[in-house]
Amino acid sequence: MSKGKEAVVTPWEVKGNIDYGKLIEKFGVSKIDKKLLSRIAKVCGGEDKVHPFLRRGIFFAHRDLKWALDEYDKGNKFYLYTGCGPSGPVHLGHATIWQFTKWLQDVFDCELYFQFTDDEKFLFKDKSFDEIQKWVHENMLDVIAFGFDHKKTHFIVDTKHANIMYPQAIQVAKKLTTSTVKSAFGLKDSSNVGQMFYTAMQAVPAFLPSQLKGKNIPCLIPHAIDQDPHFRVTRDILPKLGYYKPASIQSRFLPGLGGIQKDGKLSSSTGAAIYMTDSAKDVKKKINKYAFSGGQATVEEHRRLGGNPDVDVSYQWLSFFEEDDSKLAAIYADYKSGKLLSGELKAILIEKVNGILAAHQKRRAKAESKISKFMLKV
Amino acid sequence: MSKGKEAVVTPWEVKGNIDYGKLIEKFGVSKIDKKLLSRIAKVCGGEDKVHPFLRRGIFFAHRDLKWALDEYDKGNKFYLYTGCGPSGPVHLGHATIWQFTKWLQDVFDCELYFQFTDDEKFLFKDKSFDEIQKWVHENMLDVIAFGFDHKKTHFIVDTKHANIMYPQAIQVAKKLTTSTVKSAFGLKDSSNVGQMFYTAMQAVPAFLPSQLKGKNIPCLIPHAIDQDPHFRVTRDILPKLGYYKPASIQSRFLPGLGGIQKDGKLSSSTGAAIYMTDSAKDVKKKINKYAFSGGQATVEEHRRLGGNPDVDVSYQWLSFFEEDDSKLAAIYADYKSGKLLSGELKAILIEKVNGILAAHQKRRAKAESKISKFMLKV
């Protein structure tokens, strides 16, 4: 990528020119290598069955994934833990993590603990508790629409499950100084005391099943790389409480429509986002209007010089959503050669996204009655 | 009192030579004056019916008590909120607060919310969660033994009632900066993040009934003066959440057996304490061995010079526990004149305390089966 402003990657802000190689170093995570990919291929029945997000390096880094697979091979199956910060509608950025999580659940046939961090969003956003609760409900419909197995999937809502969450969170909090939290998250003395405490709540699902079942169970956390500080803190504390460090697997960001340098990751806070509940017409409008193009200024120039798929947001999005490798390669080549125009590339993306959303919305419409089946019972 | 080391009065430490007049100024509370006392006398049916703790200035200060009585007169009855930090056995220091709270409940016929701060004790003490839970149970037996009306008394255990407490505590926490908590409680960056958050949990019972019932209900908090910083913070925040500031009524400390300068308030952390479950033999031993005496070195000198009841711990304790004003006055005079010897004064106290404990222990033995009736239902 071309140079741009300096990258910032924290749980609350992603912006600038992100160098994922440098992030691996900075965060101290490990690259997912071929050896790990072939171990996963064995479980899912062949290299062609491996999820495109892994094949394409979208999930690119990990902590202790090898250990989690070793335990799996020994019959000590891991569970998955991921979550959602309910402060707005679900967008395609969330979709990438949850679609992949669903794939992991299917391939490894494992339990999933899905946390709705309503306390976090209330404490960090200028929104009322009631508004956050509305989003908890709306977001649950989306999560269910991804097709998780309700027999193996357990929703935790921090404030609704506080009877089990808070007594565990204080175990974490007791081991966690204010200065550690300040430096890990950039919080200050002007931060509210709920923000200081919050990461202790986020740590709990990384050991809650072990606590509830009275035996240590490995945990694997799929998440976007910006959430890593939470789990770095969690990994430091959990062995002090007698639990395993959770393993994790990190994804790149789905860029915002304006491109990663301008908009950062796709988010409802910056730039335009495409929501899982958007109409086909809205999707068309947004992509045509906002998707940063790698094309040339005129058709004539584009035909002569070709486009730049490496900065083109439509192409980058297709690298997430077009599962067929050969189709994707053809699009790359055609755009680079100038054969494919920017408008045509956008049209391909629009069709792809609208197909995904139509199917999602159909499942979402049937989700309401299933919510209670997903709620964690204790 | 004679001069001694400088007084320290915080929720976690009380020591030195305490000047209650200065504390009133320093904490910004108001003295309970004759006008207030006569208003209370009207409610309880005469000046002689007013609790000795009020008549004797043991409950000596308040915030907004006049307002709470005004609201009471208008038919907007206050409820009481007090609590217990469950990290050890209940001692006679606790007893003073709860005995008075019970009297307030009877006189004003009002609800009582009784908080067991198991999270606080876990976060601030080097004790395991299981040990704290044991004390929650033991302390409940003592609280019940004070004779509270279970139809009007509601136990809250922070971690057991977290489903209702935590969602309210984050409302408080969002309005409370880390620097405010640091300066109010002397916490530091090395303090754990649970300690930073905790005061938000302690604030909740000061408005929980208003929240549960959907209308503002005045709250009156009887407590020892060292707990005031918690409620000062609470009073700042509650109006921002649309609730009344809680009124409060503050007591002096029952001194430790070694005297307030050496041992501070009676506590299980410093010096010897007398517990509600102590045997008559233990009480006799402890008072004879540890109670600081205001007597002279020899009987002969004592007869000649007289004792000093103002520093004598046995006399000070009798000023809490001997309800008969004329008996108390006679003891004071006789000790001062030298007629009453230190050993005789101790014997009077031993008999008094053992009478209180015997009655308490009898009620405590029947408390176990009542616990569930006292637990707050929501």
- φ and ψ at A375, to 5 degrees? -65, 135
CA distance B164 to B136: 19
Interchain contact, B192 vs A173, CB within 8 Å: yes
Q: Which residues of chain A form CATH 3.40.50.620?
A: 8-257
Say if residue B204's pLDDT is above 70. Answer: yes
Say if residue A4's pLDDT is above 50. Answer: no
The beta-carbon contacts of A51-55 under 8 Å, at least 24 apart in sequence, are A51/A100, A51/A103, A52/A323, A52/A325, A53/A96, A53/A100, A53/A251, A53/A320, A55/A325
Say if residue A280's pLDDT is above 60. Answer: yes
CA distance A324 to B108: 76
Instruction: Count CB atoms within 10 A of the CB of residue B73.
Output: 12
CB A163 within 8 A of CB B165: no
CA distances from B147 to B53, B151, B324, B370 (A): 18, 12, 21, 11
Instruction: Count CB atoms within 10 A of the CB of residue A121.
Output: 21
Q: Which residues of A touch B175 (CB under 8 A)?
A: 192
Q: Report yes or no: B239 at the A interface, CB cutoff 8 Å.
A: no
What are A287-313's pLDDT values in tens digits? 999 999 999 999 999 999 999 999 999
- pLDDT-derived band at A265 (thresholds 50, 70, 90) equals confident
Label the pairing between strands A59-63 and A30-31: antiparallel
Mean pLDDT rounded to a whole number for chain A: 94
Cα A103 off chain centre by: 13
Amino acid occupying residue B25: E
Q: Which sign does the torsion angle of CA B173, B78, A162, A146 carry? A: negative
Give bridge partners of residue B63 from the DSSP assignment.
B248
DSSP three-state, residue B156? strand
CA distances from B125 to A161, A240, B131, B201, B346 (A): 26, 17, 11, 17, 34
Q: Which residues of chain A form CATH 1.10.240.10?
A: 267-364
Amino acid occupying residue A144: I
Of B167, B175, B189, the CB nearest to A179: B189
Q: Which residues of B touch A199 (CB under 8 A)?
A: 193
CB B202 within 8 A of CB B173: no
CA distance A254 to A226: 12
Say if residue A277's pLDDT is above 50. Answer: yes
Amino acid occupying residue A50: V
Token code pair at residue A74: 């020994």
What are B149-184's pLDDT values in tens digits? 999 999 999 999 999 999 999 999 999 999 999 999
Return the CATH class of domain A267-364: mainly alpha
* pLDDT for A53: 96
Interchain contact, A177 vs B171, CB within 8 Å: no
CA atoms within 13 A on the CB side of A267: 18
Say if residue B70's pLDDT is above 50. Answer: yes
Interface-testing mutation among B123, B177, B192, with chain A (most A C-beta atoms within 10 A): B192
First to last CA, chain A: 49
Token code pair at residue B71: 């609201």
Of B162, B175, B196, the CB nearest to A178: B196
What are A12-34's pLDDT values in tens digits? 777 777 888 898 999 999 999 99
Mean pLDDT of B227-234: 89
Mean pLDDT of B262-276: 80
Q: Report yes or no: B177 at the A interface, CB cutoff 8 Å.
A: yes
- pLDDT-derived band at B261 (thresholds 50, 70, 90) equals confident
- Strands (DSSP E) contained in A235-312 are 247-251
DSSP three-state, residue A174? coil
Q: How is domain B271-364 classified at the CATH fold level?
A: Tyrosyl-Transfer RNA Synthetase (1.10.240)
Q: Report yes or no: A197 at the B interface, CB cutoff 8 Å.
A: yes
* pLDDT for A267: 78
Of B159, B171, B188, the CB nearest to A166: B159
Report the candidate in B55, B100, B113 with the shortest Cα–Cα distance to residue B246.
B113
- pLDDT-derived band at B5 (thresholds 50, 70, 90) equals low
Amino acid occupying residue B318: L
Interchain contact, B193 vs A177, CB within 8 Å: yes
CA distances from B195 to A176, B129, B163, B187, B223 (A): 10, 15, 19, 8, 20
* pLDDT for B229: 86
Say if residue A2's pLDDT is above 50. Answer: no
- The more confident residue out of B5 and B188 is B188
Amino acid occupying residue B54: L
Instruction: Count CB atoms within 10 A of the CB of residue B216.
Output: 16
**Chain A residue with the nearest C-alpha to that of B126:** A174
Instruction: Count CB atoms within 10 A of the CB of residue A372.
Output: 10
- pLDDT-derived band at B1 (thresholds 50, 70, 90) equals very low
DSSP three-state, residue B361? helix
Amino acid occupying residue B147: G
Label the pairing between strands A8-10 and A13-15: antiparallel
Token code pair at residue B87: 């990290």
Of B159, B170, B191, the CB nearest to A122: B170
Q: Report yes or no: B162 at the A interface, CB cutoff 8 Å.
A: yes
Element (H, E) at A137: helix A129-145
Q: Report yes or no: A211 at the B interface, CB cutoff 8 Å.
A: no
Amino acid occupying residue A114: F
Of A167, A190, A192, the CB nearest to B173: A192
Interface-testing mutation among A129, A161, A170, A188, with chain B (most B C-beta atoms within 10 A): A170
Say if residue B346's pLDDT is above 70. Answer: yes
Amino acid occupying residue B215: K
Element (H, E) at A316: helix A313-321
Indicate the DSSP class of residue A204. Answer: G
Q: Report yes or no: A254 at the B interface, CB cutoff 8 Å.
A: no
- pLDDT-derived band at B11 (thresholds 50, 70, 90) equals confident
Token code pair at residue A273: 């986002």
The CA distance from B229 to the nearest CA of chain A, in Å, is 16
Of B177, B179, B196, the CB nearest to A197: B196
* pLDDT for A17: 76
CB B64 within 8 A of CB B247: yes
What are A87-111's pLDDT values in tens digits? 999 999 999 999 999 999 999 999 9
* pLDDT for B270: 67
Mean pLDDT of A212-227: 95
Percent of chain A's residues with pLDDT above 90: 86
What are A300-350's pLDDT values in tens digits? 999 999 999 999 999 999 999 999 999 999 999 999 999 999 999 999 999
Say if residue B305's pLDDT is above 60. Answer: yes
CA angle A130, A279, A252 (to 5 degrees): 75
* pLDDT for A271: 65
Q: Which residues of A touch B165 (CB under 8 A)?
A: 162, 166
Cα A344 off chain centre by: 28
CA distance A327 to A308: 17
Interchain contact, A162 vs B160, CB within 8 Å: no
Of A174, A179, A190, the CB nearest to B177: A190
Report the candidate in B112, B114, B78, B110 with the shortest Cα–Cα distance to residue B220.
B78
Sheet (strand B247-251) strand order? B30-31, B59-63, B247-251, B219-224, B79-84, B112-116, B153-157
Q: Report yes or no: A128 at the B interface, CB cutoff 8 Å.
A: no
* pLDDT for A199: 95
Just give the CATH number of A8-257: 3.40.50.620
- pLDDT-derived band at A141 (thresholds 50, 70, 90) equals very high
Instruction: Count CB atoms within 10 A of the CB of residue A55.
Output: 15
Of A3-7, A254-258, B269-273, highest mean pLDDT: A254-258
CA distances from B179 to A189, A199, A322, B182, B365 (A): 5, 19, 50, 5, 46
For chain B, how are helix, strand and coil distributed in percent, rounded to 5? Answer: 55, 10, 35
The CA distance from A204 to the nearest CA of chain B, in Å, is 14
What are B83-130's pLDDT values in tens digits? 999 999 999 999 999 999 999 999 999 999 999 999 999 999 999 999
Q: Which sign does the torsion angle of CA A139, A141, A143, A146 carry? A: negative
Q: Report yes or no: B171 at the A interface, CB cutoff 8 Å.
A: yes
Q: Report yes or no: B178 at the A interface, CB cutoff 8 Å.
A: yes
CA angle A354, A359, A361 (to 5 degrees): 90
